[in-house]
Amino acid sequence: MKKNPAPQSEAERSTVEKPVAAGDHVYLIDGSTYIYRAYFAMFKASQARGRAFTRSDGTPVGAVMTFSNMLWKVLRDGVDGGKPSHVAVVFDPPGGTFRNEIYPSYKANRDAPPDELLPQFPLIRDAVRAFGLMPLEQIGFEADDLIATYACEATAAGAEVTIISGDKDLMQLIGPAVRMYDPMPGNERRIGAEEVREKFGVGPERVIDVQALAGDPTDNVPGVPGIGIKTAAQLIQEYGDLDTLLANAASISQKMRRERLLEFADQARISRDLVRLKCDVVLETPLSVTAVKPPEAGPLLTFLRSMEFTTLTKRIADALGAEVPDAPPKSLPPSHSAPAAQNPEESPASEANLSGPAALAERVKTEIAAIPFDASAYQTVTDPERLRQWITAATEHGRVALAVQATSPYPAMADLVGISLALEPGLACYVPLGHRSATAGLDLDGAGVIAQIPLRDAIEALKPLLEDAAVLKIGNNLKYDCGVLLRYGVRVSPVDDTMLISYALDAGRSGHGLADLCERNVGCKPLAAKELTGSGKAQVGFDRVSVAKAAEHAAGTADLTLRLWQVLKPRLVAENVTTVYERLERPLVTVLRDMEAAGVKVDRQVLSRLSGQFAQSLGAIESEIYAMAGGTFNIGSPKQMGDVLFGKMGLPGAGKTSKGALSTGARILEELVASEELTEEQRRLPAKLLEWRQLSKLKSTYTDSLPGYIHPETGRIHTSYGLAATSTGRISSNDPNLQNIPVRTMEGRQIRSAFIAEKGHRLVSADYSQIELRVLAHMADIPALTRAFAEGLDIHAMTASEMFGVPVKDMPGEVRRRAKAINFGIIYGISAFGLAQQLGISRSEAGDYIAKYFERFPGIRDYMEATKSAARSHGYVTTIFDRKMHFPDISTQNRAMRSFYERAAINAPIQGSAADIIRRAMVRIPAALEAAGVKSRMLLQVHDELIFEAVEAEVEATIAAAVKTMERSAEPAVALKVPIKVDARAALNWDEAH
């Protein structure tokens, strides 16, 4: 049985159960369809009104408002002749369903949701919870299937059923005890058997047959070409059902119908399987738990107030006999004026509304910049009752900015020192929890002890707030804060991260750290932590900073983060990057938090043995170097190396560093190795020096250093992932960097063998096959490449055959290797020099190869020129998922720099699209693993590879779930012209699994 993709909240677990019985009235709400219809209805209304339906922070909420009004109407009075006894609100789950296995192109033509709708999906689910209901979904099945199953179960128990939807696919369920009701304002109507006949020409029991013949272009159901609804209805009326029609197709007198039905009979049967709803889904959530209970006034009104639905909030408060929640409790200091509210229900049209999202974003920025920044106004909370007041206020606000202070920059090693909260600009506090020293007695209570709330008590009080699905938690680099709090059993959710919002907006521009963002957007900078802790040998931990100074820094961080959020969030809609943020950035905060917390086990003994082996190899290489150089010198000294190469040996090509010393960087050595002017004997020394450097770096960076990163409690290494560290969307790895361990060298593979599975487990490596080449084939639309990928051919052999005229069969390995080097090199704008070095050939020969490559695949050159032109025109390029990567200096007059930016701009859409594909996979995989019923967990992400740890008995299920999710990670947002392929295997260590 599949498992729910998300754990139940406290509200969901406390739902009252009541089995459905005769006389009950069950309402089944098609949440997914209603969201879209509500959005487009409100979109038209906003156009007519001349203003958008947005909250004061710029978040679109029009669909949320329509949905909330509908829910209240259903719960209060019902809409179909009686109040409901049970209400189930059902949504489509992320990812594909069983229908995609029947027909992979099912729903492939659907456009991505509008940017303005994306942030409303989670808010609508929050609305369902606020009304005391459960948002239901089940991996592998559409909402319609769950509705069909619930409807069959309810009618079998003798209950009446009303389906709230206008979706034609649900009309097949209508019967004596099942009706539909379309609740859209201005189009409310009851749908029964007669309305179905008006639409399909047949009764509900034959809707499936008609749809199977006519197909559905919206869902990409093929049907039978040339047969529409009217013709299909005539045929079904005449023959009774689809099977009888197809069995007698040869006797149909009309030629076109006869030929089409005979030719596309199987396609009609497949279409019937696609449109037929399942009435036998094994339900994870029984219908009994959807029993209606009166909504709790507190959570419901708090949610509606946070949405700024003034009229609806008052109407429901009156009906429930409750008061509308006020502003923050009076015991808290008065807040500074926040940006003027833009009530979607009743505020007058403003200039921002009339001018669109961009004007709103600019207005908010101006208003936030005008709010005074006064660190002396912050509160230090050392009393549990005072903390409860702040928690209550945060809950009523529906959002809170937070910043964690801890003893280490690495979450897995960090002890919590304090946490700060901000509710509005200027309204912030600091809660000290783990300070260990006081300054001048100012932080001491009457007993001479530092005044702070006991850590365990504070965590117990804060945990419900930080895990409350109805309260948005805002931070900057929030993955760190979430990681620290996870050590204390707190799983922070939902989240918004200003660093990632900035990254979605401005990747490739200036930094996304708090100080840089504040300086650019708010007009002030936070007090830097190092000004309090010091640096170098004199540095102390934050737990040694006085509480008074800590509060100024920590509360200021939360305050500025909230201001940043108010400034940056409206820009997502204005600049059309909401999709990128909501799908590729925000969800990864908690995914990477869990990966970092899991870590990966490392065998110390393997590292120790390798360190000794590398030391011996380095000694042997050093002896060879000294023999070639005619004497000893410090190989690690660039100056002494330069004196030997360019002085003693007189090699050409000496360059100078910025300080005037002879340059012996890797590029200089590589040029010497590839130089056609030097003899083979002269090239041996720079080649051996490169070998020494590479092995020395592996030893110092990995075999010597990795043991120091092994956590003393877990015995595992917990790397830190960077989400906003590259211009293309690639995720980075730091402290330690596990992404730079070379996989193509024997030494690198030996290091990977030290990464092992826990006892009784296996490591699973799932690696995208040639993902960037596949993206290039798609983006540049190269017929030869797309055909080769579609047919599953050896792409490098095919390229070699195209370029060199060599048959693919029995192709020499050297010829294929050259084609492979060119294929991958082209993506990165490889030069003749670089290719010559890789293949060990002359530059002229390498240049000829590159020229010939572009002759054989001219579309690639066209793509490159078009990309450079777009980058110069717009200042940015985009991935296939519309991530923007900015190149503001691409038109520089400096020729060398301009060439560099142009190469980067060509590569960025390819590398960025590949990075986005794996990001989408990482977001979806946790739910896929849970749905597969396995306990596997994702441990590492290394460019195009994901590493999992799986129980031995669950390896095959883990591989199947991972591969399926990864190979479909571009869907349904992008229909790639080439298939995505993932290779996966399991072993006891990383090297064997790769």
Q: Over the chain, what is the mean pLDDT?
A: 85
pLDDT digits (tens, 9 = 90+) for 907-921: 999 999 999 999 999
pLDDT at 595 over 90: yes
Confidence band, pLDDT 50/70/90 cuts, at residue 116: confident
What's the CA gap between 582 and 782, in Å, rounded?
31
Query: CA 827, 831, 832: angle at the middle one, nearest 5?
Result: 130
**What are residue 279's phi and psi, to 5 degrees?**
-105, 10
- Residue 658 vs residue 344, higher pLDDT: 658
pLDDT at 705 over 80: yes
pLDDT at 704 over 90: yes
What's the CA gap between 73 and 240, in Å, rounded?
41
661-694 in b/e burial notation, b at 16+ Cβ within 10 A?
Answer: ebbbeeebbbbbbbbeebeeebbebbbbbeebbe
Give the range among 250-264, 353-367, 699-713 with minimum mean pLDDT. Answer: 353-367
What's the CA gap between 244 and 853, in Å, rounded?
57
Beta-strand relationship, 135-136 and 884-886: unpaired
Report the candidate in 823, 765, 730, 780 with the shortest Cα–Cα distance to residue 978: 780
Instruction: Write down the pLDDT at residue 146.
Output: 95
Instruction: Write down the pLDDT at residue 497.
Output: 96
pLDDT digits (tens, 9 = 90+) for 190-235: 999 999 999 999 999 999 999 999 998 878 888 998 898 999 999 9
What's the CA gap between 316 and 960, in Å, rounded?
48
Query: CA 867, 871, 874: angle at the middle one, nearest 5?
Result: 130
Instruction: Write down the pLDDT at residue 172.
Output: 95
Burial of 859 (0-12, 13-18, 19+ CB in 10 A): middle
Instruction: Write down the pLDDT at residue 521.
Output: 86
Give the range among 7-16, 188-197, 555-564, 838-847 with minimum mean pLDDT. Answer: 7-16
Judge contact between 722 and 734, C-beta under 8 A. yes
One-letter amino acid for residue 311 of the chain: T
Give the range among 16-25, 225-234, 418-427, 800-809 with minimum mean pLDDT. Answer: 800-809
What's the CA gap between 476 and 512, in Å, rounded?
9
What's the CA gap between 554 and 540, in Å, rounded?
16
pLDDT digits (tens, 9 = 90+) for 369-380: 888 888 888 999
Confidence band, pLDDT 50/70/90 cuts, at residue 814: confident
What's the CA gap between 892 and 887, in Å, rounded?
10
Strands (E), 387-506: 399-406, 416-424, 427-432, 472-475, 495-497
- Residue 356 vs residue 292, higher pLDDT: 292
- Mean pLDDT to the nearest integer, 141-148: 93
Report the candidate in 407, 522, 519, 394 with the shortest Cα–Cα distance to residue 467: 394
Report the candidate in 698, 736, 741 with the shortest Cα–Cα distance to residue 716: 736
pLDDT digits (tens, 9 = 90+) for 301-316: 888 988 888 889 999 9
Instruction: Write down the pLDDT at residue 737.
Output: 93
pLDDT digits (tens, 9 = 90+) for 45-85: 655 555 567 777 677 888 899 899 999 999 988 887 778 99
The DSSP code sequence of 587-623 is: THHHHHHHHHHH-EEE-HHHHHHHHHHHHHHHHHHHH
Instruction: Write down the pLDDT at residue 244.
Output: 93
Confidence band, pLDDT 50/70/90 cuts, at residue 334: very low
Report the candidate in 917, 967, 973, 881 with the shortest Cα–Cα distance to residue 110: 973
**What are residue 630's phi and psi, to 5 degrees?**
80, 25
Confidence band, pLDDT 50/70/90 cuts, at residue 335: very low
Instruction: Write down the pLDDT at residue 896.
Output: 79
Report the candidate in 543, 433, 451 with the shortest Cα–Cα distance to residue 488: 433
What's the CA gap between 573 and 576, in Å, rounded?
5
CA separation, residue 440 to residues 58, 437, 444, 450, 541 (Å):
46, 10, 9, 11, 18
- Residue 648 vs residue 737, higher pLDDT: 737
- Residue 402 vs residue 842, higher pLDDT: 402
pLDDT digits (tens, 9 = 90+) for 433-480: 999 875 544 555 555 568 899 999 999 999 999 998 878 899 999 999
Confidence band, pLDDT 50/70/90 cuts, at residue 598: very high
What's the CA gap between 222 and 273, in Å, rounded?
11
Report the candidate in 544, 207, 570, 137 with the shortest Cα–Cα distance to residue 353: 570
The pair of structure tokens assigned to 466 is 């930080």
Instruction: Write down the pLDDT at residue 12.
Output: 40
